[in-house]
Amino acid sequence: MTSPSPTAATPSTATTTTPSAIPSDADAIDLVFDLVREFSPSRNELPASTRLAERAEALGLHAIVDDTGNFVASTHADPLRSSPEYRDIVLLGHIDTVPGEIPVLIDNGILHGRGSVDAKGPLATFVIAAARLRDRLPPGVRIVVIGAVEEETPTSRGARAVVDRYQPIACVIGEPSGTSGVTVGYKGRLVVRAEASRSLSHTAGPDRSAADRVLAWWSRVQSRAATFASETPSPFRSLQHSVRTMHAADDGFTDRAELVAGFRLPPSVSPEQLKTACLDEAGSEISLTFVGAEVCFEADPKSTLVRALTGAIREISPETRPRILYKTGTSDMNVVGPTWRCPIAAFGPGDSALDHTPQEHLVLDEYLLSCRVLEQALTRFASEAIPAGSDQGQINRS
């Protein structure tokens, strides 16, 4: 059995703070350990959401699980409602993970477990920062923390359930960027399922199999996709596509084949353009179903929020040079960014190269540093967005 981190006591299920206490580093480690231990693959998040609500209440936040299964907490007032008395800073993470349970343990200051990086580490960072700031926010400002469900699926059901609930003055998305990174762009997405079937015939006959038809369609789509190539083919600016699953079978009467493919879309390509290309190449032989359509989203890298985050990184870790990142994946930023139209960026501890891997783990010193960076960044942003002594309605949204 491995030994726990020397920097903290062995995490326990009991809460270690009272509502009047400011969470310590030991409390922060206990929280993230407890959250990662509640395995919560997509569509099975309720136990983790319920447990995190209990922990957030013990840290002095107002917390609840909403009708969608999202964990929602706030520093002030009812977390499920906007209030004219408060301007909201929304910290939107996700509480679901991909499948594949990994034994949860702390070994030499490293937390191992599914979701430690993607994205329970960032979500725990949000809860700790909010709890530390609950009594230090300017009048009329509150923090809302959300642990959304189904972010790891094409539905993004949790984010879609809250997008009309709030009108925040800023939003931080909880995704791993490392303690020096601030992410301002995520590529769009489209997932397509192609199906073909035909009456079974001898393989020596002239008729193509269902699998042949699907593969021929995919070859045509790949050629069509090449026409969308960018003149500056950086990963973020290029169209990416891959086959996710392929299956072919027959029941003795009917030959069937199915291919599921995913596209990652740059700013220059919309989901509708790809849908049109796929349909044009399908003809009458292929049946198509589309899910997970999201447009690429780029935030303002010079916004007040991004400046607050990069400034906090420099202040907390003077030897670190902040990095502005553009990710080739998709996040809930794609869902809420176009509607909220506020300063927005993604931040959180962890190495995104470990996302979805059997080696997923979080360095706890990095996690604790991220808690301090976010705490400082939110303090900075709130003071710049609503200057001391100003009317709470006068907000700098730059």
Q: Is 212 known to be catalytic?
A: no
> How far apart, in whole angstroms, are the C-alpha atoms of residue 146 and residue 45?
13
Indicate the pLDDT class of residue 207, thresholds 50, 70 and 90.
confident
Query: Helix, strand or coil for residue 320?
Result: coil
Indicate the pLDDT class of residue 230, thresholds 50, 70 and 90.
low
Q: Report, as an integer, the average pLDDT of 236-264.
A: 94
Cβ contacts of residue 270 below 8 Å, gap of 6+?
188, 295
Q: Residues 374, 175: contact at Cβ < 8 Å?
A: no
Q: What is the pLDDT of residues 66-97, one digit of tens each?
A: 999 999 999 999 999 998 999 999 999 999 99
188-294: CATH, from 3.40.50.1820, 3.30.70.360, 3.20.20.100, 3.40.50.300:
3.30.70.360
Rg of the chain on CA atoms, in Å: 23
pLDDT of 13 > 70? The answer is no
Q: Residues 43, 64: contact at Cβ < 8 Å?
A: no
Catalytic residue among 96, 255, 360, 366: 96
Q: Look at 120-124, 224-228, 242-246, 291-295 and tell me which has the smallest mean pLDDT.
A: 224-228
pTM for this prediction: 0.89
In angstroms, how far is CA 373 from the centroid of its own chain?
A: 19
Q: What pLDDT is attached to residue 17? A: 39
Q: What pLDDT is attached to residue 206? A: 59
Q: Is 251 known to be catalytic?
A: no
Residues of the chain with CATH 3.40.630.10: 25-186+297-385
C-alpha pair distances (Å), 245 with each of 67, 191, 195, 257, 293? 33, 11, 12, 11, 18
Indicate the pLDDT class of residue 228, thresholds 50, 70 and 90.
confident
Residues of the chain with CATH 3.30.70.360: 188-294
Q: What pLDDT is attached to residue 126? A: 98
Cβ contacts of residue 159 below 8 Å, gap of 6+?
92, 94, 148, 151, 332, 335, 336
- Give percent of the chain above pLDDT 70: 90
Domain 25-186+297-385 part of CATH 3.40.630.10: yes
Q: What pLDDT is attached to residue 251? A: 83
Q: Report, as an integer, the average pLDDT of 374-395.
A: 75
Q: Residues 369, 125: contact at Cβ < 8 Å?
A: no
Q: What is the pLDDT of residues 16-41, one digit of tens each?
A: 434 558 999 999 999 999 999 999 99
Can you list the pairs that 100-103 forms with residues at least 24 positions away whose Cβ atoms lie under 8 Å? 100/356, 100/358, 101/39, 102/358, 102/360
Catalytic residue among 151, 175, 255, 375: 151
Indicate the pLDDT class of residue 119, thresholds 50, 70 and 90.
very high
> How far apart, in whole angstroms, are the C-alpha atoms of residue 191 and residue 385?
38
